[in-house]
Amino acid sequence: MRTDPAQNAALLFFFFCFSFTVVHFHVQRFLSSLQPHSGPNPSFNMSTRVAVVTGSNKGIGLAIVRALCKQFEGDVYLTARNVGRGEAAVKALNSEGLKPLFHQLDIDDHMSTKVAVVTGSNKGIGLAIVQALCKQFDGDVYITSRDVMLSITGLKQCSPELQQRFRSEDITEDELVALMRKFLDDAKKGEHKQHGWPDMAYSVSKIGVTVLSMIHARRLSKERPNDRILLNACCPGWVRTDLTSPDAPKSPDEGAITPVYLALLPPGAKEPQGKFLSDKEVQPW
């Protein structure tokens, strides 16, 4: 059944705009207040190394949690909107001998997102989200925006003028928001294609999140160079999830390879920063 592009644009624009709130919060504020859903963790302290994976009760998110539980020396938090699904995912990983912690995260609950400082999704490669993988309270923080597979495809389908604006190293967050609002307005009128936009709201939302990650990476490098925060966007590839197709060539575990690579950059790493990666390699944007 063909869906209404304007409705798709409105829905995805909401999640896109909501993701903007993520990077504005101080990551360490979240880390100092985060506790597992089942109750306080007595060992939770400011020297604990932590990885937080959003939208991780299934799909690529779950695969990332699995890989981090095996490779990461610290606490790994699995988050989900639905407590039952999240706890079921934790139980499944427990059966594999892995011990992730759980934190409930609901994008529709303002307090949930304010406490968690990340946005979540239950749809694998799904809605526009920012994945925070926070390696250490008092040291390195590595933030990765995953699930941007269609951003480069959508960018190539934009008009040359839009491509130039989205690739500009001087684009500001306000300018990016204005572009996303213009797409929404054009799509509602059915005029988005004649104004140079792709005919897919999903890919436009991914363009927005990718460019947003680059904008904030530049700001972090300029305004907080000593905070050791790296922020990148990555493409997991075409992965078999509920949102895609059983014919996709990659398994969720294979799709998790690049996000996990970015989460496990060595301490003190200074790059990549503000880049777009796939297959663990920086790609041209």
Report, as residue numbers or ranges, the catalytic residues.
202
The Cα–Cα gap between 176 and 182 comes to: 10
> Quick check: helix, strand or coil at residue 4?
coil
Q: What is the DSSP letter of 265?
A: P
DSSP track, 135-147: --TTS-EEEEE--
d(C-alpha 198, C-alpha 216), whole Å: 25
How far is it, in rounded angstroms, from Cα 214 to Cα 144? Answer: 11
State how far the alpha carbon of 69 is from the alpha carbons of 23, 41, 120, 218, 230, in Å: 25, 17, 19, 30, 21
Classify burial at 225, counting beta carbons within 10 Å of its beta carbon; exposed 0-12, middle 13-18, buried 19 or more: exposed
Picking from 258, 230, 60, the residue whose alpha carbon sits closest to that of residue 135 is: 230
- Spell out where the chain has E strands: 50-53, 75-80, 101-104, 131-133, 141-145, 229-235, 276-278, 281-283
Instruction: With H, G, I as helix, E, B as strand and everything else as coil, classify residue 160.
Output: helix
Widest CA span in the chain: 58
